Structure 1
Amino acid sequence: MNHRPIPDEPRADLCTRAAELYQANGTIRTVAEKLGQSEYATRKLLVEAGVTIRQGGPLQASDAQRGWNNFGRDHSPGWRKPKITPAQRVEIKQRLADGEKPTDLATEYGVTAGLIRQLR
């Protein structure tokens, strides 16, 4: 198992690969094994990729569980959906390195200039 944070660029590729494996009727467990990630990390990658998590097993998921699976409205206290995707993060970092202003990028992505500055 890999328990280290995944850098942004490979993370976007990993999200895509996880989505492909899952959408080919893989389970979170089998996708996690193929990617060398934990089931929790794999679930996060799938959600970042925009995949709707399927209900599985003989028991039906409750509304709260479906919300957690798909980042619905039922979350633990203090949880907030990320404002930008990992792919956008990579693009923003490159554009900052190319000399674009954080305020211009913030307007384009609908976030604060402070968030953009944190990505430097």
Structure 2
Amino acid sequence: MKDIYYNPAQIQQQSLFDSTDNIKEDRTPEDLLFQVMLDLGILLSSKIEEKTIAGKKVFNVADGFLIACFDNDVTEKTVKAVAQEKPYYAVFRDSSMANDSVATNFEQIFATYSPETVRKVL
């Protein structure tokens, strides 16, 4: 993740545009996955399966305990398909949502199909 702790006197209007994505540019989806696993206390030795759900690459960790998607242009179809898998944890990248509608409906989709899932957006 990018350093986000700034002194207000150091902020310039142009630098606000640099804050649209909170993840460092050189990070791969695997980097994000391992960071999420560490944050959630999931063993790095857990079984990790890459698969495609609704056209997007997702990581299925520990047989559905965690499902994570860091692809770009994630649609409601992808979010719904992940929710229907009923993982314990579901993690997406905020900047990867296809549009504001997907971001807005994200919680409602999970509330409908898998209300028990713990959701996290990076």
* TM-score (normalised: structure 2): 0.25
Higher relative contact order by CA 8 Å / sep ≥ 6: 1 or 2? 1
More strand by share: 2
* TM-score (normalised: structure 1): 0.26
Structure with greater Cα Rg: 1
